[in-house]
A = this chain, B = another copy of it.
Amino acid sequence: MRADARDNRARIMTAADEVFGQSPAASTDDVAKLAGVGIATVFRHFATKTELLEAVLTLRLERLRDRALQLAGSADPGAAFYEFFTQVVSESASKLAIAEALTASGVAAAGEEARAAGHGMREAFDGLLTAAQKAGAVRPDAHFPEVYALLIGSSRGATAARLDAETRDRMLALVYDGLKPPT
């Protein structure tokens, strides 16, 4: 691939991340304009709009997985789990796409790459959960599916309701109280 083509590809990805982050229904033209390229260039790099969306989705999921893996190395597994949870929910509030990505990652319909990225991210989160449970920071009878559902729900709830930071934190405090082991 020629150097200018590679540059443009990166610019398009960044623009798509931004544009679709605000509204997944945005048009391909919007992405092209923000990236400063013609429409044709977008479609040369991503054959369909769906393919572009999936590329953005994959990127988001990989970033989340990386953060989870990074936190997994931490000394305090309980803190690591709750910090990851909090970060995901907080960012979803400003980046709609993250909440969408989380959802799509669990529901299929996405392409091969995105599916794999979703799997990787869920595995990393499962690792955080298991470690936190072993450390006694999360009740041991909570299973992955409902905890993941809680993560999705909290994200989408915070996003959809446009919660201010304070209310969001109070909501998370309630959620965390439900996750902590009975005293």
Taking Cβ atoms with an 8 Å cutoff, the residues of A that contact B are 103, 106-107, 142-143, 145-150, 152-158, 160-163, 167-168, 170-171, 173-179, 183
Contact yes or no, A158 B150, CB < 8 A = no
For this complex, 5 residue pairs linking A to B, each with C-beta atoms less than 8 Å apart, are A107-B161, A145-B170, A149-B158, A153-B156, A153-B161
Main secondary structure of the interface of A (DSSP, over half): helix
In Å, the complex CA distance between A183 and B179 comes to 15
A167 touches which one: B107, B149, B155, B178 (CB < 8 A)?
B149
B contact residues around A142 at 8 Å (CB): 170, 174
Q: How many copies does the complex hold?
A: 2
A157 — nearest CB in chain B belongs to which residue?
B153
What residue of chain B has the Cβ atom nearest to residue A177's Cβ? B178
A143 to B148, CA, bound (A): 25
Known pairs A162-B107, A178-B179; A143 contacts B170 (CB<8 A): yes
